[in-house]
Amino acid sequence: MVTRVPRPRHRRLEVPALLLELTALALSLSLGGGSGAFGVPENSIVAAGIADLPGPVRQLDIAPITVPSFADGGARLSPVNIELLPSLGGRALLDQFGLLPQSVLSAYVKDHPKVIAKLLAAPIAPGEISNWWQGMDPAAREKLLATTPELIGNLDGLPYGTRDLANRTYLGDTIRALEMQLQSGVGRGMNVEVTNHLHMLTQIENALTARKGEPTRTLVSLDTVSPGRAAIVIGDIASADYVSYLIPGMFFTIDGQVDDWANTATTLYDDQTSWLNRLGESSRTVATVAWIGYQTPHLLNVGSLTLADEGASNLTRAIEGLQALRGDNQPYISVMAHSYGSTAAMIALQRGDFEIDALAVVGSPGSSAQNASSLAVRDHNIYVGEAGWDPVVNSAFYGSDPGAASYGAHRMSVAGGVDAITNAVLGASYGHNEYFQPGSESMRNLALIGIGEGGLVMNDSGSMIAAGRR
């Protein structure tokens, strides 16, 4: 609840004393992008009335207007002069967004179109984001959702339902704006650019449509700027016992593959659910994530690890956000990465900022880690699949070969054959892009890895990696 602060009674200040406090305030503003909230204390001399201050000093006034009430009795913050907002960043700026009146915030975001991108480019730890959101007044949450959906939809650590609503709103608004731009008439060159942009966004919209009988799809991250980024969850990630992230590699784009990737995640969801039922664990649930959360490389930039580093950082925040939200009810988390995406995933896991339960890489061009023990994966649950006629595997282009015996990962078969449990005939994977074919041995093994049944994965000899279940 927001209450108005009465003008306090105050004494006339000597200018040197006031300047001392203003100097300290300016210093704290310059450090505002770090951790911890920034605000003007309600009993500050700067927060006092300024009618008696000299004219030149009066122009520096911070002009607090309202103070939010916090049930936990924590520090109370008040809005700063809007002209000072560009000097803020990180948590300090988020705090101010939560305090500003909706009309003022809306105008500020409109007048400073890069401010959201700036916040997202220097992200705050998901745990801190979660605490910030939980401590906010419901009315302030609604205001931020209505005014800054692009921001709210991409803050790792916020509830997924909230992010889905924000992202769908922002996606729809952006599509309508582009359609209106085309209808208003643009030049030939601009027409092509806008049309291509619109096509990319409609692909995300199409990928969000679940077919009859399929689980719900949730848009948990969105970048509408070409070439775009998106992450679509199949199932309920907020409560699932098992969560699997699918990470794509080279040539995957939002415009070309987001719908197919969401369908692949749905196939994995169905396969994992079927295995749980077969294994007598029908009460357990899964969620899969079609994650295109970074720009994948093409022929001209695939030789660099710049995009892999970006992907590693984004994946880290995504998983840390999940872990922050789930608290004491952590799911079994697996990452299933293809091609260049496997390199990005292994960079993230080598950094050790978070830990997962299982990793599967297919068609991998190499790992910056020397061996599997350098990756933050519990219980040595690391699996490698390499298809026949895949020109990328065994190249060790980006470091060590995860398929080599010396790397220390489990080899999983993708060559097809007969399922050792169901006796079903399994398809084979050939080349670089057939690891996710429905009904393949590769998908069978990936499904089992994602539900903690690595012992049932079939190896190159056609037998299971471990006798019996873990």
Q: Would 291 be classed as within a structural domain? A: yes
Q: Would 93 be classed as within a structural domain? A: yes
Binned at pLDDT 50, 70 and 90, residue 35 comes out as: very low
In the chain, the largest separation of any two C-alpha atoms, in whole Å, equals 88
pLDDT surpassing 50 at residue 391 = yes
Cβ–Cβ under 8 Å, residues 265 and 292: no
Beta bridge partners of 217: 234
- Torsion angles phi and psi, residue 367, rounded to 5: -130, 140
Q: Would 26 be classed as within a structural domain? A: yes
| String of DSSP letters for 18-48 | HHHHHHHHHHHHHTTTSSS-----TTSTTTS
* CA distance linking residue 454 with residue 470, whole number of Å: 7
pLDDT surpassing 50 at residue 70 = no
Cβ–Cβ under 8 Å, residues 64 and 40: yes
* CA distance linking residue 85 with residue 332, whole number of Å: 41
What's the pLDDT at 29? 39
* CA distance linking residue 113 with residue 437, whole number of Å: 42
Binned at pLDDT 50, 70 and 90, residue 13 comes out as: very low
**Integer angstrom CA distances of residue 32 from 21, 29, 95, 210:** 16, 5, 10, 43
Structure tokens at 410: 């489990």
Q: Which of 224-233, 364-373, 458-467 has the lowest mean pLDDT?
A: 458-467
Peptide bond into 54 cis (omega under 30): no
Q: Would 351 be classed as within a structural domain? A: yes
What's the pLDDT at 186? 79
Structure tokens at 50: 């300024």
Structure tokens at 20: 């001392």
Structure tokens at 356: 């997962």
Q: Would 141 be classed as within a structural domain? A: yes
Same-domain check for residues 140 and 248: no
Q: How many CB atoms lie within 10 A of CB 411?
A: 19
The domain boundary residue, chosen from 98, 123, 147: 147
Q: Is the dihedral of CA 454, 380, 288, 176 positive or negative?
A: negative
pLDDT surpassing 70 at residue 16 = no
For strands 358-362 and 382-385, give the pairing: parallel
Q: Would 201 be classed as within a structural domain? A: no
Measured torsion, CA atoms of residues 158, 160, 165, 166, in degrees rounded to the nearest 10 = 30
**Integer angstrom CA distances of residue 315 from 299, 312, 353:** 23, 5, 11
Q: Would 38 be classed as within a structural domain? A: yes
- Torsion angles phi and psi, residue 290, rounded to 5: -80, 95
**CATH number, residue 244:** 3.40.50.1820
Cβ–Cβ under 8 Å, residues 316 and 351: yes
**138-147 vs 90-99: helix crossing angle, rounded to 10:** 100
- Torsion angles phi and psi, residue 46, rounded to 5: -70, -30
The domain boundary residue, chosen from 147, 168, 193: 147
Cβ–Cβ under 8 Å, residues 77 and 39: yes
Same-domain check for residues 140 and 218: no
Q: How many CB atoms lie within 10 A of CB 22?
A: 17
Q: Domain containing 325: what range?
A: 213-456
Same-domain check for residues 260 and 350: yes
pLDDT surpassing 70 at residue 192 = yes
Same-domain check for residues 20 and 105: yes
pLDDT surpassing 60 at residue 24 = no
Same-domain check for residues 143 and 217: no
* CA distance linking residue 48 with residue 18, whole number of Å: 11
Cβ–Cβ under 8 Å, residues 336 and 265: no
pLDDT in tens, 279-302: 999 999 999 999 999 999 998 899
What's the pLDDT at 468? 36
What's the pLDDT at 384? 98
**What SS3 class is residue 332?**
strand
What's the pLDDT at 289? 98
Q: Is the dihedral of CA 383, 385, 386, 388 positive or negative?
A: positive
Hunting for tokens 């609840």 — which residue is that? 1
- Tally the domains of the chain: 2
Cβ–Cβ under 8 Å, residues 120 and 167: no
What's the pLDDT at 83? 85
Same-domain check for residues 80 and 227: no
What's the pLDDT at 49? 35
Q: Which of 34-43, 227-236, 438-447 has the lowest mean pLDDT?
A: 34-43
Please name the residues in contact with 41: beta carbons below 8 A apart, sequence gap of 6 or more. 47, 75, 76
Q: What number is the average pLDDT over the span 403-428? A: 96
Cβ–Cβ under 8 Å, residues 318 and 230: no
Same-domain check for residues 431 and 345: yes
Query: What is the distance, to the nearest Å, from the Cα of residue 239 to the centroid of all Cα atoms in its chain?
Result: 17
Same-domain check for residues 108 and 222: no
The domain boundary residue, chosen from 119, 147, 175: 147
| Mean pLDDT over the full length of the chain | 85
**What SS3 class is residue 7?**
coil
* CA distance linking residue 306 with residue 357, whole number of Å: 26
Cβ–Cβ under 8 Å, residues 370 and 346: no
- Torsion angles phi and psi, residue 41, rounded to 5: -55, 140
Query: What is the distance, to the nearest Å, from the Cα of residue 212 to the centroid of all Cα atoms in its chain?
Result: 27
What's the pLDDT at 11? 38
Q: Would 63 be classed as within a structural domain? A: yes
What's the pLDDT at 411? 96
Beta bridge partners of 158: 156
For strands 382-385 and 410-411, give the pairing: parallel
Structure tokens at 385: 């699949």
Closest CA to 60 of 11, 113, 19: 19
